[in-house]
Amino acid sequence: MSAPDILVLGGSGAGKTHYAGQLLGRLRHDRQGRLRLRTGGVEDLSKLEEVLSCLEEGRAAGHTPAETWTGIRCELETRDGTTALLEWPEYAGERLFSIVEQRVLPPEWRLSVSKASGWILFVRPSTLQIYEDLLERPTGVAPEHTQSEERSVDGRGWDDRARYVELLQMLLFASGRSTFRTLSTPRLAVVLSCWDELETPGSPEEVFAGHLPLVDAFLRSTWQGDAWSVWGLSSLGRALSQEAQDPEFAHKGPEHFGYVISPGTTKKIKDLTAPIAWLLGV
C-alpha cells in the first residue's frame, strides 16, 4: 500500500468527521475544481455513509468511537492528472493525543508520518484546554487583573499550548526529520475548525497566535515561512443538532454550506478543498 501524500491529524471533537463528509460531498458534486475524487478513490465508502446521511437530513453526525474506525484513505486527482492520497490514519481523536500521554507512536502510523509530504492539523479554538500561568496570576498576588474565580491551577492533563508542541515534536522525531534547520517538508496546514463558534475572529493567523502563542512560536522557528499556513474552517457554516433537523440545511443540501477562511484574510470562500490544494501546491 502506498504512503499518503497528506496526513490528517486532529484531536477528539476537532471537526474531522464533518469535514470528511463535506469534503466527499464537494468532490462528488464539483468535477471542475482543483481537486476531484478518483473513481473508486475511497477504500471503504461505508465508513462515511452515516456522516453523509446525517448531513443530508440536516443533522450533525455523532462522535466517531476509536474502536469503530481505524482509518480511511481517499485518492484524489488534480486537474493535470496527478494523483494524491489523503489519509486519516486513526479517525478517532483520542488516539492522536494518546501518543503524547503514552509516549508511543503506533507502528501503523510511522510510515505515514515519515512519508507524507503534507500534514493537516485540526485545532478547535473553542475547546482548547488552557491553564493560567504565573504571568497571568503570579503566586501570592491578588487576581485583580482577571475575571477567573479559580484560585489554583488544575494540574491534571496537559495544557494544549504544550500538548500541541509536544505532539509535533514527537511526530517530527518519529518521521526522522531534523529541526537543526527550518523545515520545508512536510508542509503543514493548521486548520482552525468550527470557525462559526468564534465571536470576534480576525485572520486565522491572529486567532491562532492569540489562542496558542507557544505553538505559533514553535512553528515559526521550526518551519520555513512558506511551508506552513493557518486556515479558518466551518465545515457546516452553522451548528447542527444530532437530534433536531435543520430544515434549510436539509432542503438546500450540505454541499451549499460551509466555508474556509484563507491565510491572511477574513473573507469566506466556499472551496473546502483549499487547504488540501495548498498542501499539494495546486
| Domains of the chain, CATH where assigned | 6-134+156-280 (3.40.50)
Cα(274)–Cα(282) distance, rounded to whole angstroms?
9
Reading the block at residue 29, the C-alpha cell is 458534486
Long-range contacts, stretch 105-108, CB < 8 angstroms, 24+ apart: 105/170, 105/171, 105/174, 108/71
Rounded to the nearest integer, the mean pLDDT of the chain is: 83
CA triplet 185, 222, 124: central angle to 5 degrees?
85
pLDDT attached to residue 149: 55
What integer pLDDT is reported at residue 136 of this predicted model?
54
Using CB atoms within 10 A of its CB, is residue 194 exposed (0-12), middle (13-18) or buried (19+)? buried
DSSP run (H or E) holding 76: strand 72-78
The pTM of this model reads 0.87
* pLDDT tens digits for range 179-192: 899 999 999 999 99
Contact 203, 160 (CB under 8 A): no
User: Backbone phi, then psi, for 145, in 5-degree steps?
Assistant: -95, 5
What are 227-280's pLDDT values in tens digits?
999 999 999 999 888 888 999 998 998 888 999 999 999 999 999 999 999 999
Cis preceding-peptide flag for 138 (omega within 30 of 0): no
- Across 40-49, 107-116, 132-141, 223-232, the highest mean pLDDT is recorded for 223-232
Per-residue pLDDT for 108 more than 50?
A: yes
